[in-house]
Structure 1
Amino acid sequence: MHNAVRNPWRPSVQNQMLEKLAIAEVIQNWAVWRDAGDWERLRTVWHDDGWMTATWFQGPAEKFIAVSQAGFDRGVSILHFLGGISIDLNDHRATAQTKMTISQRGLVDGVLVDVVCTGRFFDFLAKRNGRWAIVRRQPIYEKDRMDPVSPDARLTLDAALLDSFPEGYRHLAYLQTRLGFTIKKDLPQLKGEAVMRLYAEGLAWREGAPTAFPAGGPG
C-alpha cells in the first residue's frame, strides 16, 4: 500500500498567496492606470478614505486624482516603474513595500531635464467587502539624480537651493520647485527617524490600529 503524499500547499498557505496576488494587482494597477491617465479605474485601487502622500501633494486620494488629471492635461510628465514587492499580511489588513522609480521631465532654467528617484512605495491596505484597496500610500525616497535630456546641454544648479532639500529626493524636489510645486521636506528616506516611524505605523496597522496614521492624524 502506497503512503499518501502530503500536499505542502495547505489551504491557509494557498489563501495567503491568493490574497497577496490580489494586493500585488492593486499596486500594479495603480502605476499603470495613473501613468496612462485612466482616472476612473485609478479610483478603484483606493478605499473611500484613501490618503496619498508625495513630495508635492498630501491629501485625500480623490483630490490626488483630480490634481494629477489636471497636471496630466497640461503636460506634467511624471511616470512610475515598479520592481519587487514584499507584502506583510494579517487577516484583512496588510502593508506592502514595492521597489519603484519616479521619473519626471521638466524645465530647469530653460534646460529640459529628466529626474529619476529610486525608492519604495509603502502602502497600508485593507480588505473591505471582499475588495483589497489602498488606505494610505507613503513613498520612501532613497536616492535620485538629474540629467539634461540633450547631452550637449549645460546645466548649473543653485547649490543652496539643492542642499535645502533632503538627500533622498533633492533633485526631484529641485525640479518640482522650479515647476512651481511646494515640497514637503520631512518625508521618509532610506534611513532615519521618519522611516522608522513609518515601519512602526505599518506594524500597528496590521495589528489592528484604528487608523493607518499616527496619533496626530494624516499629514
Structure 2
Amino acid sequence: MSNGTDMALISELVARERLFRARHNPEIRDCYYADATVATSWQQGPLSTFIGAESKEVDPRFVIVGSVSTPVVHLNGDKAYVELPTTTHMRMMVNGTLAELESYRRLIYRVERRDTKWKISRLTSINESDNLRPVIVGQDLHVIPQDFNGLRSSYQFLAYVRQAAGGQISQDLLGTDRPEEVERLYKETNAWLRAGV
C-alpha cells in the first residue's frame, strides 16, 4: 500500500472518530484499539473512561458541536501521529443563564497499523484557548474578573464552568501557556514514531 493511501486512511480515521464523538455514535469504539489511552480536559486513562461506562462528562443534556481543521499526518511505517486542530462548542447553564463554551484544542493521535487495519492507540488533547458567552446576547452570566484568579489562560473558562457546576479540573493539563510541556509531548511522540522501525 502506498504512503498516499495510508495517509488518506489515517486522515479518514481521525475525521470519523471526531464525527462519531460529536454524535455519541457507539461505532467510535472501532476507531480505537482496546488497549488505547485517552487524555482530555476532563479525564485521563483507558478507553473506558472516555467512551465507556466510566465516562462522566459535565452536563450530558447538551449536545457538543465540533469542527476540525485539516489533519497533519506524520507517517513512519506502521506508525503515525496526527495533529488535528479542533474547535468545540458546548452549551450549559452558568449561574442560571444559558451559555456557550467555545474551546480551541489541538488533538494529538497516535495511530498504528496492527495486522492490516489502522486504529488509534492514544489520544492527547492540548488546550489552546477558550471563550464563554451567553447564548442570548445581552444576558448576564454574573461572572466577575476575580472568578478567574489562578485559572490557566489556555482553558480558564472551561475550568470556571467545571468548578461552578461543582466539579473539579486539574490545573496541570497540557496547554499552550506551558510551552515546555507541549514540547515534551512532541519529543516523546516523535521518539515513539521512530522507535522500532
- The residue matched to 1:114 in structure 2 has which SS? strand
Larger radius of gyration: 1
Residue 42 of structure 1 is matched in structure 2 by 28
Alpha-carbon offset, residue 70 of structure 1: 6.4
Match of 1:130 in 2: 116
Report Cα offsets for 1:22-69 as digits up to 9, x if no partner: 111111111111111111x10011111111111111121123112587
Q: Could you list the runs of 5+ residues in structure 2 that have no partner in the other structure?
A: none
1:19 alignment partner in structure 2: 6
Q: TM-score if structure 1 supplies the norm length?
A: 0.81
Q: 1:48 to 1:16 in 2, by over 3 A?
A: same
- Quick check: which one's helix share is greater? 1
TM-score (norm 2): 0.89
The structure 2 residue matched to 1:176, chosen from 162, 180, 187, is 162
SS in 1 for 2:169: coil
One-letter amino acid of the structure 2 residue matched with residue 154 of structure 1: D
Moved over 3 A (4+): 67-74, 158-161
Match of 1:51 in 2: 37
Q: How far, CA to CA, are the matches of 1:122 and 1:58 in structure 2? A: 14
CA distance in 2, matches of 1:150, 1:137: 34
Structure 2 partner of 1:163? 149
Distance 1:179 1:78 in 2: 17
Q: CA shift at 1:166, angstroms?
A: 1.4
1:60 aligned to which of 42, 46, 49: 46
Q: Mean Cα displacement is larger for which, 141-150 or 188-197? A: 188-197
* Mapped pair 1:199 → 2:186: yes
Greater Cα shift, 177-186 or 68-77: 68-77
CA distance in 1, matches of 2:154, 2:46: 24
Q: CA deviation at 1:104?
A: 1.6
- Identity percentage over the alignment? 25
Matched positions, count: 195
> Aligned Cα RMSD in Å?
2.2
Unmatched tracts of structure 1, length 5 or more: 1-13, 210-219
